Structure 1
Amino acid sequence: MDWSLFDIVGLDYYSYHANRAGHTKELAPFRRWGKPIMILEFGCCTFTGAADHLATMLDVFTAEGFLGASPYTFISPDAPHRPHDHPHDEDIAAFSLCKVIRKNSDDPASPYDWQPKESFRAVSRFCLVH
């Protein structure tokens, strides 16, 4: 493969390490082409601590000097939040920064609104500082 044809190295990065050094080590081989690196997708599903994970990842990508990073994803209309039906709350598995509240959560075609999660706020705070 002639990598000189490409301007950047684009990665989808969904790893977990207990410390930043683990991420640095895992990402190091992608520098071998001498190209700028951009994280095209990163994220995690909804869980207690997800916002901290996203903020940590943004810190790692910044420290590595990457071009940018794009959280996956803003909303997941196919995974509505069901606040009164925890066993069927599809938002728990969603990687979205915002939860989808459908007018009728049993009807995938019903109108919906979205509400920011803690993950949205963590990414927003990071962007405001950087």
Structure 2
Amino acid sequence: MRTFDCAYYDTGFGSAVGDRSRREFDPAVVRRELEIIAADLHCTAVRISGDDPDRLAVAAHAALDAGLRVWFSPFPMDRPPPLVITEFGCCTHRGAADAGGTGWTIVDFTAEPRALNGDYVRDEAGQVAYFTELMDVFEAEGVHGAFWFTFAGYEYPSAAGPRRDLDLASYGAVRVLDGGTGTAYPGLAGEPKEVFHAIAARFSR
């Protein structure tokens, strides 16, 4: 039986493509995002990952202040406990559920600026279906907790222009905006996707 609801929160680490997964790290933004995870996603726990001890500490304190349980996952020294799904998720393009952990490979990392390597269709409903299907399985199998990967894909911002909507390669529940701020949470450069609301509804039960 599931005992808590969770989200994965990235504080930044060196990625396989030679860049950091999160360049900007503003403690005030981190605190607000963790408050959103607690209050609006209705999570009771957060898995905090990254390779910078100072960032991990800042995020952990903010999470505790928001009333969240904290699971430390210093990258790459993650040791997940049994009966807990420490990551699950899919990207936001059609076919991403089938691609699983390789859904992000639709990005051409050699392009400047980065761009998608082909024409893809946004499929937020597919992301929701993936979340719902797996949560049903986890609950039926008696999993104690499951962490959605991830709150936001900071390295995959959404921009205007052909093949510039990198959010299609993101697993995030929030679409990161390339410049400007969103309307749901003024001052933050992101907008909730359909899966954000699905997670919030599920975890508020």
Paired residues for 1:1-130 under 5 Å: 36-47=82-93, 48=123, 49-82=126-159, 84-103=160-179, 113-129=189-205
3-state secondary structure, aligned to 1:74 = coil
Q: Tell me if structure 2 keeps the 8 A contact 1:36–1:66.
A: no
CA distance in 2, matches of 1:36, 1:76: 26
What is the distance in 2 between the residues matched to 1:60 and 1:117?
23
**Structure 2 vs 1, CA of residues 81 and 112 (structure 1 numbering), >3 Å: closer, same or farther?**
farther
Q: What secondary structure, in the 3-state scheme, does the structure 2 residue paired with 1:88 have?
A: coil
TM-score, length basis structure 1: 0.61
> Larger relative CO (CA 8 A, sep 6+): 1 or 2?
2
Q: Compared with structure 1, are the counterparts of its residues 121 and 86 closer, same or farther at alpha carbon in structure 2 (3 Å cutoff)?
A: farther
TM-score where L is the length of structure 2:
0.40
Unpaired runs of at least 5, structure 2:
1-80, 94-122, 181-186
The answer as to whether partners of 1:103 and 1:112 remain within 8 angstroms in 2 is no
Deviations 1:71-113 (A, max 9, x none): 001011110012x324121100011110001217xxxxxx961
The percentage of counterpart residues that share the same residue type is 33
What CA distance in whole angstroms lies between the structure 1 residues aligned with 2:196 and 2:133? 14
Alignment RMSD, CA only? 2.0
Structure 1 counterpart SS, 2:152: coil
Q: In structure 2, how many angstroms separate the alpha carbons of the residues matched to 1:86 and 1:97?
A: 23
CA distance in 2: counterparts of 1:36 and 1:92, whole angstroms: 31
2:52 aligned partner: none
Q: Is the 8 A contact 1:102 1:112 kept in 2?
A: no
Distance 1:36 1:62 in 2: 15
Higher Cα Rg, which structure: 1
Question: Deviation string for 1:6-43 (max 9, x for gaps)?
Answer: xxxxxxxxxxxxxxxxxxxxxxxxxxxxx951100000
- Equivalent residue letter for 1:103: G
1:59 counterpart letter in structure 2 = D
